[in-house]
Every structure is written in structure tokens, then in C-alpha cells.
């Protein structure tokens, strides 16, 4: 071995050994967390000091790859359908908890919290709640059923769910204050307060949310503020507002979203983004009224998302998350409505098509939107480099 060869061999050995045990001073001024993130960033790690990251899932029946994706990136789940009245309580007095129980068990076994969805909704709610002897049931009867349903369900999951969407979509889309649902016409306006009171009694530790779509925009935002005040006046324990966040590419109402977060917060509410997705296709229907279907239109992106659309999706997700980070002191949780594109409800609503609204595609490959959003947390760390103390919670196992 020549002297030169020896020098190269020695240098290689030194570099290799440095790679195994990088001394702290070799990291320069960059915080350790940033370097760590570049290698193995996941959503829950990147945002765990800001807010919880969630995904809606159908139940425990996920395949192994989906489970890996879920457990690595999220620390909370919402059942997409299996805690709605139709699933849990299809016939009066007959509760079916098995599917929801399995979901809760899987979540807890893997360190994820559960947000219950939804104690009361006008959709996916069986008709028996409102009928008696073939006729419309009277107020007292429907109220008693509401109380029994919520007391039983919230009682069953007490201590197992962190929060509940107590009432879903009760605000009217047009000129009225409240939606003319069977809950409203059978009981009256106080059905919402009743729901919160009974839920709180059954599970005093759960955070209780009112959840709806398009409440970031006027006039629904003003009606949501009115509802918060109404509930407080009636002594109903409401802790937060869920902005569903079913938005559409190129028309996300950023300013309205910010104004709504501030307005709900100034009423003392926590704010959660509960059902986030960005529809990439064209549709006529605004918001997320599941009852409104459109006649079949072209399946624009059946063969994948063109690069320019993919880029706009990434940019707009990044803009949204920049806003959420700006208001992280007011936001408790950001939950996506689905784990990956193949499981999104937007493939079937408001008409059948191939949609691409989430961070992972049908093959569970991460999309540029994920990188764009993760990059925000690195930029934040770069701006305020904090010397990393040994044992800093960023590197500790997640809750």
C-alpha cells in the first residue's frame, strides 16, 4: 500500500466511523431535530408540538400496509361511519358495538386516541327515532330516544374516546338558522343543547364539539356563532367547533378559514379541522351535503393526476397548513377524511369518479403535498434554531 492509498483508506475509515457516531459538534448550527426529520419525517412527528394529526378510518379492517401508514403518521382516528346512529343503533334498544369496539381497541393498542363521530346527525340515522305506531312521534318520545341513545353510546365509550362530534350539520345552508331536520321538527331548537347536556353527563371527561361544513364562510359562520351563544345560554357544555374542511382545489377560502378560527376562538372554543380533503375534480355542489348527488360527469383523472394539478394540490395544502401552524394555539387537531386516495369518500360523492384528495395515492405512495407540508415544519425549525437538549421530547416516543 502506497502512502497515498494508506491516507485514503485511513480517511475513509474515519468518515465511516463518524457516520455511526456523529459527535454533536459535527452537526454545526442545525438543530438535531431537523436532521432527524429529513430522514424519517412523519406527520405526527412533525406536528406533534402543534396539534394532533388524525385520519378517518372505516374500522379495524385495514391491511398491513395501511396500518403501518396509519400508526406512523397519525395519533388520532375518527370512525368514518361505524359510530353513527344507523350503525350503532339500527333498531330501538338494539345496540351493535362490535365494529366500533374493534376500532377503538386497535387504536388504543397502537397509541392512537379516538374522536367519536357522531352522536347526532340527520343522515345515517334510522327512521324509528321519529316514528310511533306508523305516525310521527311526539316531542317527548323523540327527546327520550335522543337521551337514551346518547347516554348509552357516550356511556359505552366513556374513558375510551377523547372527544365527540356531538351534533353534526345542524345549521341550515340557506336562509333558516337551523336545518329543518327531523330532530328539529320533532323536538325543537333545544335538541342540540339536550344532546350536549346528556353527552357530558355520560362522559364528563370527553371534549364536546359541534361539527359542520362551510361554517368558515358567511352566513353559516354567523349562525355557528349564534349557536355557540345559544348553547352557553342554555347551560350546555360545548368545548369546541369542528370545521369539517371539505374544500376544493383552486377555491379554498383561506381568509374565511382564518377569520372563522379567530371568531370561534374568541367565543372560548377550541377549533378542530375534522374532515380535511381537497377535491381535485370539478363539481357543482359546494360544501359536503351528502344528500346532494350530481348526475354522472366525466371521470377527469382516472389515469392519474397531471403534474400541474399535483403541484397546485401541494401548494394549496402547504398554504393551509401554514395557516394552521400560525393558529396552532387555537387548533387541537387536524383530521383527514380518509387515509389515502383509494379510501376517500370523494370517489363516490357527489358522483362516481377517481379522486386524488389526500396525501397518499392508491398505492400508498406519498404525494408531493406531503413533502410540501412537512417542509413547513423544517422551515419553522430553521427560522428559530433551538439548540437541542439531550432527551428533548421531539425525539422521544410519541404519546
* Per annotation, catalytic residue among 66, 169, 207, 216: 169
Q: Is 178 helix (H, G, I), strand (E, B) or coil?
A: strand
Q: Which of 77, 100, 288, 388 binds ligand XIL (CB under 6 A)?
A: 288
Nearer to ligand XIL, 81 or 152 (CB): 81
State the DSSP H helix or E strand holding residue 379, giving kind and residue range, or none if neither.
helix 368-383
The Cα 357–Cα 355 span in angstroms is 6
- Using an 8 Å Cβ cutoff, are 327 and 261 in contact? yes
DSSP output for 1-46: --HHHHHHHHHHHHHHHHHHS--GGGGTTS-HHHHHHHHH--HHHH
- Answer for which of 102, 290, 300, 322 binds ligand XIL (CB under 6 A) is 290
> CA of 33: how far to CAs of 25, 154, 166, in Å?
14, 39, 38
Size of the site for ligand XIL (CB under 6 A): 8
Rounded to a whole number of angstroms, the minimum distance from the CB of residue 110 to ligand XIL is: 22
Shortest Cβ 171–ligand XIL spacing (Å): 13
Catalytic-residue membership of 275: yes
What character string, x for contact with ligand XIL (CB under 6 A) and - otherwise, covers 197-236?
----------------------------------------
Least distance (Å) between residue 227 CB and ligand XIL: 16
Q: What residue is closest to ligand XIL based on CB?
A: 345
Tell me the three cell numbers of residue 86: 344507523
Closer by beta carbon to ligand XIL, 73 or else 244 = 244
Residues 322 and 341: their CA atoms lie apart, in Å, by 23
Can residue 324 be called a binding residue for ligand XIL (CB under 6 A)?
no
Q: Is 169 a catalytic residue?
A: yes
What track of x and - describes contact with ligand XIL for positions 337 through 376 (by CB under 6 A)?
--------x-------------------------------
275 binds ligand XIL (CB under 6 A): yes
CB under 8 A, 24+ apart: contacts of 128-136: 128/91, 128/92, 129/85, 129/182, 130/182, 130/186, 136/186
Contact with ligand XIL (CB under 6 A) among 50, 81, 148, 162: 81
Q: Does 168 bind ligand XIL (CB under 6 A)?
A: yes
For residue 200, what is the DSSP state?
H
For the chain, report the end-to-end CA distance as a whole number of angstroms.
Answer: 54
**Rounded to the nearest whole angstrom, what is the least distance from the CB of residue 118 to ligand XIL in the complex?**
6
258-285: b (≥16 Cβ within 10 Å) or e: eebbebbbeeebbbbbbbbbbbbbebee
Contact positions vs ligand XIL (CB under 6 A): 80-81, 168, 244, 275, 288, 290, 345
Q: Which sequence positions are flagged as catalytic?
A: 169, 275
Amino acid at each position: 500500500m502506497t502512502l497515498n492509498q494508506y491516507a485514503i483508506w485511513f480517511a475513509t475509515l474515519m468518515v465511516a466511523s463518524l457516520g455511526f457516531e456523529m459527535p454533536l459538534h459535527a452537526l454545526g448550527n442545525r438543530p438535531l431535530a431537523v436532521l432527524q426529520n429529513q430522514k424519517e419525517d412523519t406527520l405526527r412527528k412533525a406536528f406533534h408540538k402543534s396539534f394532533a394529526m388524525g385520519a378517518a378510518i372505516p374500522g379495524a379492517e385495514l391491511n398491513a400496509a395501511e396500518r403501518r401508514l396509519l400508526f406512523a403518521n397519525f395519533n388520532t382516528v375518527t370512525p368514518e361511519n361505524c359510530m353513527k346512529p344507523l350503525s350503532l343503533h339500527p333498531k330501538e334498544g338494539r345496540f351493535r358495538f362490535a365494529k366500533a369496539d374493534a376500532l377503538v381497541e386497535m387504536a388504543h393498542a397502537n397509541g392512537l386516541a379516538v374522536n367519536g363521530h357522531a352522536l347526532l346527525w340527520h343522515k345515517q340515522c334510522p327512521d324509528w327515532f321519529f316514528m310511533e305506531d306508523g305516525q310521527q312521534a311526539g316531542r317527548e318520545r323523540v327527546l327520550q330516544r335522543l337521551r337514551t341513545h346518547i347516554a348509552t353510546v357516550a356511556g359505552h365509550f366513556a374513558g375510551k374516546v377523547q372527544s365527540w362530534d356531538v351534533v353534526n350539520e345542524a345549521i341550515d345552508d340557506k336562509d333558516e338558522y337551523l336545518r329543518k331536520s327531523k330532530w328539529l321538527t320533532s323536538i325543537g331548537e333545544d335538541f342540540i343543547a339536550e344532546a350536549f347536556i346528556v353527552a357530558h353527563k355520560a362522559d364528563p371527561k370527553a371534549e364536546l364539539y359541534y361539527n359542520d361544513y362551510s361554517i368558515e364562510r358567511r352566513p353559516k359562520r354567523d349562525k355557528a356563532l349564534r349557536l355557540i351563544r345559544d348553547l352557553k345560554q342554555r347551560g350546555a357544555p360545548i368545548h369546541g367547533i369542528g370545521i369539517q374542511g371539505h374544500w376544493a382545489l383552486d377555491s379554498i377560502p383561506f381568509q374565511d378559514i382564518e377569520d372563522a378560527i379567530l371568531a370561534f376562538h374568541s367565543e372560548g372554543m377550541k377549533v378542530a379541522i375534522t374532515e380535511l380533503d381537497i377535491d381535485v375534480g370539478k363539481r357543482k355542489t359546494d360544501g359536503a351535503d351528502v344528500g346532494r348527488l350530481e348526475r354522472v360527469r366525466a371521470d377527469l383523472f382516472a389515469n392519474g393526476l397531471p403534474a400541474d394539478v399535483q403541484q397546485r394540490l401541494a401548494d394549496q395544502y402547504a398554504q393551509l397548513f401554514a395557516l394552521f401552524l400560525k393558529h396552532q394555539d387555537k387548533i387541537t387537531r387536524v383530521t383527514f377524511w380518509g387515509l389515502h386516495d383509494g379510501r376517500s369518500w370523494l370517489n363516490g360523492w357527489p358522483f362516481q369518479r377517481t379522486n386524488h384528495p389526500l396525501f397518499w395515492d392508491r398505492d400508498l405512495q406519498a404525494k408531493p403535498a406531503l413533502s410540501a407540508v412537512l417542509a413547513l415544519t423544517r422551515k419553522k425549525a430553521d427560522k428559530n434554531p433551538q439548540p437541542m437538549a439531550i432527551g428533548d421530547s421531539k425525539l422521544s416516543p410519541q404519546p
